Amino acid sequence: MPHDATRAAREPSGALDAPWLSVIVPLYDEGPTLEASLQRLLAWLQRSGHSWELLLIDDASRDATRATADDFVARHPQLPLRCAHHPRNTGRGRVVRDGLAAARGQVAGYLDIDLEVAEDALGPCLAALSGGADVAVGRRRYALEPHSLLRHVLSRGYSRLVRALLGTRLRDTESGCKWFRMTSIAPLLPRLVHDGWFFDTEIMMRAERAGLAIAEVPVEFRRRFDKTSTVRPLRDSLAYLGALLRFRLSLWREDRRAAR
């Protein structure tokens, strides 16, 4: 991505000490595809023109993910890479919250390292932040293939349910490609409580209800079949539904208290 005046104005002269961009990568049982995915992401960052840091957070993986991440960082001592490990599995939401708390960038966010939304999606998302958005989320457009049809149907069904129950206009709260202006999102972080996958919906709803400017950026989602997904459609759909109903109740109680 070429360097431009807009980004230069948003990146201070001390960017070498405090990077403009913090990229958080949640890790859990990523398998043998992790090394190649990290290389792709690193290559994008190095040609982006941004000052950056990369935070790898392993959520107590059961496979070789931890060793692969540690080795990747050790092989690049000259680069702003950090690696942290949870002693026990806590869930995606806790991993991202820990990453946001540790991030030093003015802009921070996360990308699923399976790269089913490819690393190139960072470009338009970060451009949306440079253009004035507080939050940029990759709104997934599915490359429809027979093996990904169920995932597409479940995702669209959940999106409709979220809009119906929570009254949001957002179309894809669950995307694993989210980026935040830290001065805007930091005041909301203490209110986030979900440790699992529902964190994605929670942070987007908190941002919308706080009046933050949210850009939904179209990105392509292409299912990968060279790795085993940790998503279990039936189990996870039921868990999402329960979390969604509880969250709707908590918002209703908040609104009642605010109306008194």
Read off the pLDDT of residues 153-177 as tens digits, 9 standing for 90 and up. 666 777 788 888 998 999 999 999 9
Q: Give the CATH number of the domain where residue 85 resides.
A: 3.90.550.10
Q: For position 226, what pLDDT does the model report? A: 74
- The contacts of residue 74 (CB under 8 Å, 6+ apart) are none
Residue 176 lies in a domain: yes
Q: Does 161 map to a domain?
A: yes
Residue 217 lies in a domain: yes
pLDDT of residue 118: 96
**Whole-number pLDDT of residue 83:** 97
Looking at the structure of the chain, the number of domains it has is 1
pTM of the model: 0.86
Query: Residues 132, 115, 27, 56: what is their CA dihedral angle, to the nearest 10 degrees?
Result: -50
Q: Is 13 a domain residue?
A: no
pLDDT at 10: 38
Whether 9 maps to a domain, the answer reads: no
Q: Where are the beta strands (DSSP E) in the chain?
A: 21-27, 52-58, 81-85, 107-111, 135-142, 177-181, 214-221
Note whether residue 2 is domain-resident.
no
- Asked, for residue 14, whether it belongs to a domain, the answer is no
- How far apart CA 203 and CA 186 sit, in angstroms, is 11
The phi, psi pair for 27, rounded to 5°, reads -125, 130
Boundaries of domain holding 118:
19-259
Instruction: Report pLDDT for 234.
Output: 59
- Contact between residue 103 and residue 181 where contact means Cβ atoms under 8 Å apart: no
- Between CA 138 and CA 122 the distance in angstroms is 9
* Positions of the chain with pLDDT lower than 50, given as ranges: 1-16
